[in-house]
A and B are shown apart, each in its own frame.
Chain A
Amino acid sequence: GQNIDQPTEMTATEGAIVQINCTYQTSGFNGLFWYQQHAGEAPTFLSYNVLDGLEEKGRFSSFLSRSKGYSYLLLKELQMKDSASYLCAVRGDDYKLSFGAGTTVTVRA
């Protein structure tokens, strides 16, 4: 089975930086994904890591350490529209995606 943990909620100020951590214990590993989901809407893909290290994509970066079973999503220069749920998902050796419960990020003015 898969066990994926991430904080339930985080709050930050507009323009600031927020780091969302994700730890996982899975049966095999074939990649880690981050998705953004606004309330009542579909998840949208943000990033994918399969090798250790940092992937940068504009204001968003994602880091992976496979030996530690750990990833984080870094959101820089926060904007009000970044208020959403951020889902960490791991693809196991069965190639199925298992999602964490999500971290709700609230950006304050």
Chain B
Amino acid sequence: DSGVTQTPKHLITATGQRVTLRCSPRSGDLSVYWYQQSLDQGLQFLIQYYNGEERAKGNILERFSAQQFPDLHSELNLSSLELGDSALYFCASSSSGESSYEQYFGPGTRLTVT
């Protein structure tokens, strides 16, 4: 158990819909990262937040957005969902802002868009 929690574990929804994925980092970690992992692609970095502020942006679509709240939990919002958005979405946390030594991954949310 990494100490990072993600909800829900599974999510099935239809194209065009909007969903919110939630992540609570390890106690004391200020950085939260979001990754997407689909069958035909490796782990793709989406976005990073550090202590409530956006720190780095990767291959995140405009239909996706994220935020980190004062209690440090984070939410990833996916809208106008397409079949290709079906993937495992991982959240990871680390102690410092600059992708420090180790990232601890949550169990992931499996999103299926039908």
**Residues of chain A having any CB pair with chain B under 8 Å:** 30-31, 33, 40-45, 48, 87, 89, 91, 94-102
**Residues of chain B having any CB pair with chain A under 8 Å:** 2, 33, 41-45, 48, 56, 58, 88, 90, 98-99, 101-108
Contact between chains at A48 and B90 (CB < 8 Å): no
Sorted from nearest, which 10 A-B pairs have the closest CB atoms?
Answer: A42-B105, A99-B43, A101-B42, A95-B98, A95-B99, A45-B102, A99-B42, A43-B105, A96-B56, A91-B99
Interface centre among B45, B99, B106 (most CB of A within 10 A): B99
Contact between chains at A43 and B56 (CB < 8 Å): no
Q: Which chain A residue shows the least CB distance to B102?
A: A45
CA distance A43 to B33 in the complex (A): 13
A64: shortest Cβ distance to chain B, in Å?
15
- The binding surface of chain A is classed by DSSP as loop
Q: Which of the residues B2, B99, B106, B108 comes within 8 Å of A97, measured between beta carbons?
A: B99
For A48, the chain B residues whose CB sits under 8 A away are 101-102
Q: Which chain A residue shows the least CB distance to B96?
A: A95
Known: A94-B56, A95-B56, A96-B45. A41 touches B99 (CB 8 A): no
